[in-house]
Structure 1
Amino acid sequence: MSRSLPFPRLSRTAARPGTLAALAAAGVLVLAACGTGSGSSGSGSDTLTEIDYYDAAPQNTQLPRILDECAAKSGVHIKHQQVPRAQFMPKLLQQASARTLPDLALIDNPDLQQLAATGGLVSLSKAGLTTEGLYPSIVAAGQYDGQTYGIAPGVNGLALYYNKDLFTRAGLTPPKTWDELTAAAKKLTKGSRYGVAFSAVGTEEGSFQFEPFFWTAGASLKALDSPQAVKALTLWKDLVGTGSASKSVVTWTQADVNDQFLAGNAAMMVNGPWQLPTLNAAKDLHFGVVPIPVPDPSAKPVVPLGGEVWTVGHSNAAREAKAVSVVKCLLGQEESLKWSKDAGYIPSNQQAAAQLATSQPQLAAFVAEVGTARARTTELGTDYPKVSQALADAIQAALAGGTSPQSALAQAQRSARN
């Protein structure tokens, strides 16, 4: 969601999980207003074009350095371009229709299938790019119609942050199950402080935050009104209804949630690894990070994969080969680890991820979740944005509108079918 910054830093989604539904709906309308920019055609094969949306993120300074290192190893130079997030996919879709996509594009992983469906991307599978040593869940996030069209050097997800001082005073240990989460949130709620905080905003960012509970309960995006889905939404509704979580969660972004945790207004929060630099800068805050609680002890958390994938645009054989070579470099253990450290991500390379979990224990919970994480488009492909918005609307209806979880999700399922 998503950094997602949903995403999450959804993709910067979770993540900027920006809102995928809004982008998908607005894409056709905005195409005519966006310039074509500089595509891959017309330049020599010693200079490759690259585009991303990191104009306002820390990676804006780190990305070119790492990318240029891999470009140098491949014997090329990189011409960078940053585009604001809201304009990014409309611009790429226009370029795809004109077959002028940049040689390299770094896109939010839920957008991959929409772009691959245009036919403008090189199949990395056919180009000989190996995914050996990478997490299968991450490989799946870059696939469309049985082919790999995008690969992430690193990803992000969601975990549970908790205030160590408050837990110690309350005699609590970090919750592992939903029952323990509910009990801890209730005990830690006092005065203006809530037990837990999460983002339930009515966009992809809210869906991104809800999906760990939704999927871990056994629910499917193909059946939004299943008993398992109702169980997950009931958990959130009960936390808000009992006062263990603020009613304002329906308006809080992930950044807002982090602010609440920093200010001591929430004892726990659901958030991503991109928040760690800000939290670590608060010297008086002592916190820990654990995996998302599960319905029962036998379950494993299933979190959505946030982060971006590298894609290669069609041009000519020489340029495509050079671009694929750059991507191969970025996926190496050393480069994947370097990328993730700079971006606050988890390396796609499993050995690099294990190394990071050892050297940076705060990331261990995120690393532990990657193996069972899920690409948001796995079940629905290009239909994901529409269903994600229907799910976000259901969350809003249940938490802010007084609708029962079952009724809200039934309406969401009807909307998703239309």
Structure 2
Amino acid sequence: MTDLGALRHLAAEITALEQAGLLRKPSAPPPAGCLVLCSNDYLGYGTDPWPAPVEAPSGAGASRLVSGHHAEHALAEQTIATWLGFEAALLFSSGYAANVGTLSALARPGDVIVSDALNHASIIDGCRLSGAKVVVVPHRDVAAAEAALEQAQGAPRRWLVTESYFSMDGDSPDLVRLRAACDRWDAALIVDEAHAVGSLGPEGRGLAARAGVRPDVLVGALGKALGLQGAFVAGPMVLRTWLWNRARSFVFSTGISPALAAAIRHRVLRVAADDEARARLDRVTSRLRADLTSVVGDALLPSHGPILPCFVGPPEEAIRISLRLRERGILVQAIRPPTVPPGTSRLRVTAHARLTDADLSRVVAAFAESWKP
């Protein structure tokens, strides 16, 4: 056996994770013909060939502050900003980098950040790195958020951060009331639209646009409904300039590939015009939600949009059902702590626009066989 030296404690801790049903291991790629219902590729773009024509360098070569800024980056960012109706946008290497870099650059010690209890780990980490006081409010509790903002009036600055479409629950906050609360208490509203842009809202512009709400800062992902990679932050030009100078996950990272930036521009133009795919996604989701309800009943948690969480509870039971589904050609991963709170393990089913009627019938039949003890 390998002598682990100072890492010897890890073996015992890994064993403890495995005994608790919480150990993650790389799984084999899904076999040919397997239906994947756990990705975030809501429109199915991720299986398409690379957008063409894309003629650009494969690598940026350096941080964009050094020599890695290319024309393709600027074009992609302006296309994103125009699509969403903002003055400017800035590309990041991932949604995690966008949230961590933005929150840690904007908020400072002495500030107060009001954060939803179910916000993504990248938001949590960005809040912690900022050094600001973080007030965590119950999930979607507007009254608690209002009270926290009121109590923070002595702070130099106030920030409220929320997802628009929560990735593990498929639900949304009242963005209209949150915007009003921020306006009343002079706070900035930061909205992570990672799981909404592309698939939800007018022209795929997300749930803030659907609600008629303009966040001060909008974070979006490019690896979900747009089927590529990376993320962006949109807002006024002063925001972009500040992040260019102070967002460490941007400043100290090599710029994203110019070829990817060129592909992003093509894909944004496509998704903005693809109301047909969004309508098809709505139809698929409606049928899948109704059919799954007939099988799992109240275990299908209340949600909207393409995320359909099926509550299980114990992690080992979620793993059992996931494995049985895989045996039947359906890939739906078990979601366990720490991704979700203890005792709330679930199967996170995601619809996508290219599921056929035959696919949906196959999914429901597999659930009917796998859900029972």
TM-score (norm 1): 0.27
More strand by share: 2
**Bigger relative contact order, structure 1 or 2 (CA pairs below 8 A, ≥6 apart):** 1
TM-score (norm 2): 0.29
